[in-house]
Amino acid sequence: MERGFSVEMGSKQHVRSISISDETHGRVLFEGNLGRLKSLRVVEGEALEVEGAYGVLRVDLRADELLKAIKKSSASST
Question: What pTM did the predictor assign?
Answer: 0.76
The domain ranges of the chain are 5-76
Residue 58 has pLDDT above 90, yes or no: yes
Torsion sign, CA atoms 69, 64, 38, 51: positive
Q: Is the dihedral of CA 40, 43, 49, 51 positive or negative?
A: negative
Q: What is the pLDDT of residues 4-29, one digit of tens each?
A: 788 888 898 999 998 988 877 778 88
